[in-house]
Amino acid sequence: MKVAILPDLAAIAAVAADRFEQLLTRDPEAVLGLATGSSPLPLYGELVARQQAGRISFSRARAFTLDEYVGLPADHPQAYRSVIHRDFTDQVDFAAGAVQGPDGNAPDLGAEAARYDAAIREAGGIDLQILGIGADGHLAFNEPGGSLASRTHVGVLTQRTRRDNARFFDGDVDAVPTHCLTQGLGTIMEARGLVLIATGANKATAVHEMLEGGVSALWPATLIQFHPDALVLLDEDAAAELTLADYYREVWESASGLD
């Protein structure tokens, strides 16, 4: 794992966008993994700016999103399909149909989950996956207590996640769906590279557990300790509970410019 504790959101966005730029320069047909949530928004803003400046293009790339609520109408503003188009993909030059997400309204959700996993595999797998982390340590919508080897599946959201996400539903926790379709932890771990962004004090405990706790279903994000190419980008608030913060800073500073 590489861990960077950076001064602000702009610095986080720049480092993450560099990874995307390097990948798209090397392979314009790269397969990208996209996350919804507020954590990746500065990165998406930076990617939009770099595309508009002609530094990168998504015209030959493809993308898969991580997860989706079950049962929200497809055109609901908080359906993750709408969110990712609005926040990012409609602002850059992806080809029509190049961005896919699981269908939370499929008549057979189990079959849809299997189809989505297969679609990722058929695309050759995800080259670079952007991730946020839930305050309870979830990745995508893999809540505590699930299998660390899961594939895309139907999940049940915890009360805490529903409360956290109520801010997107006018503060009404009852309006937040109870179920989701999510890439599994096993699916996410197959991405060839991970870039996880966590900012803000409410992520500090989850970040400490993720990087320094024992790998456990209680904190699903701890699984990334097993990933061979995971880059974790933090602000000072999210890094506040890290035991090895000074060491991560030293390693990051001594490695900068090496790759």
Residues 69, 139: Cα–Cα separation, whole Å: 14
Residue 112 annotated in active site: no
Question: Which of 87, 117, 127, 136 is an active site residue?
Answer: 136
Q: Tell me whether residue 76 or residue 249 sits nearer to ligand GLP (CB atom).
A: 76
Among 82, 129, 161, 187, binds ligand GLP (CB under 6 A): 161
Residue 136 annotated in active site: yes
Parallel/antiparallel/unpaired status of strands 153-156 and 193-198: unpaired
Residues 43, 23: Cα–Cα separation, whole Å: 15
Cα 180 to Cα 72, 110, 111, 162, 166, distances in angstroms: 10, 11, 14, 11, 15
Residue 208 annotated in active site: no
Q: Tell me whether residue 20 or residue 141 sits nearer to ligand GLP (CB atom).
A: 141
Q: How deeply is 252 buried, as exposed, middle or buried, from its count of CB atoms within 10 A (0-12, 13-18, 19+)?
A: middle
Among 16, 39, 185, 248, binds ligand GLP (CB under 6 A): 39
The window from 34-42, 84-92, 145-153, 214-222 that contacts ligand GLP (CB under 6 A) reads 34-42
Residue of minimal Cβ distance to ligand GLP: 132
| Nearest alpha-carbon partner for 43 in 98, 88, 92 | 88
Q: Tell me whether residue 94 or residue 141 sits nearer to ligand GLP (CB atom).
A: 141
**Mapping DSSP to helix (H, G, I), strand (E, B) and coil, where does residue 18 land?**
helix
- Tell me if 67 contacts ligand GLP by CB under 6 A: yes
Q: Tell me whether residue 94 or residue 220 sits nearer to ligand GLP (CB atom).
A: 220
Residue 127 annotated in active site: no
- Tell me if 184 contacts ligand GLP by CB under 6 A: no
The window from 8-16, 29-37, 54-62, 98-106 that contacts ligand GLP (CB under 6 A) reads 29-37
Cα 93 to Cα 10, 35, 89, 90, 195, distances in angstroms: 23, 18, 8, 7, 22
Q: Tell me whether residue 67 or residue 112 sits nearer to ligand GLP (CB atom).
A: 67
DSSP 147-189: -TT--SEEEE--HHHHHHHGGGGTT-GGGS-SEEEE--HHHHH
- Tell me if 132 contacts ligand GLP by CB under 6 A: yes
**Residues labelled as active-site residues:** 67, 136, 138, 143
- Residue numbers of the site for ligand GLP (CB under 6 A)? 35-39, 66-67, 132-134, 140-141, 161, 165
